Amino acid sequence: MSGPNGMLYGGDEIGALVFDPGHHSLRVGYAQEDTPKADIPAVIGVGPAPLIPDAEQKVPDGNVTQSGTKTGNELRHYIDVTELHVPRPSMEVQTYMKDGQIENWDLFEKMLDYCYAKVIRSPSEHHPALFTEAVWTSRPTREKLAELLFEKYQAPAFFLVKNAVLAAFANGKSTALVIDAGASQTSAVPVVDGYALVNAAVRSPVGGDHLVAQAKNMLNNMHIQMLPVYSIQTKEVIRERERARYTLKTLPAGLTPSWQQYMLKRQYEDFCHCVAQVSEIAYDERTAAVVPGVHHEFPGGYHQDFGPERFKLTECLFEQSLGAPHLACAAAAACDADARPALWASVVACGGVAAMGGWTERLAKELAARAPSSHRLKTHAAPSPVERRFAAWIGGSILASIGSFQQMWISSQEYDEGGKGQLERKCP
Residue 401 lies in a domain: no
pTM: 0.92
Residue 65 lies in a domain: no
CA dist., res. 66 & res. 31, Å (int) = 30
- Per-residue model confidence as pLDDT tens digits over 7-48: 455 445 568 999 999 999 999 999 999 999 999 999 999 999
Which residues of the chain have a pLDDT value below 70?
A: 1-14, 52-72
The β-bridge partners of 44 are 94
Residue 275 lies in a domain: yes
- Per-residue model confidence as pLDDT tens digits over 318-371: 988 899 999 999 999 999 999 999 999 999 999 999 999 899 999 999 999 999
As for how many domains the chain has, the answer is 1
So what's the pLDDT on residue 51?
72
Residue 227 lies in a domain: yes
So what's the pLDDT on residue 49?
85
- Per-residue model confidence as pLDDT tens digits over 376-407: 999 999 999 999 999 999 999 999 999 999 99
So what's the pLDDT on residue 428?
83
CATH number reported for the structural domain that contains residue 217 in this entry: 3.90.640.10
Residue 232 lies in a domain: yes
Residue 400 lies in a domain: no
Residue 221 lies in a domain: yes
Range of the domain at 274: 208-317
Residue 346 lies in a domain: no
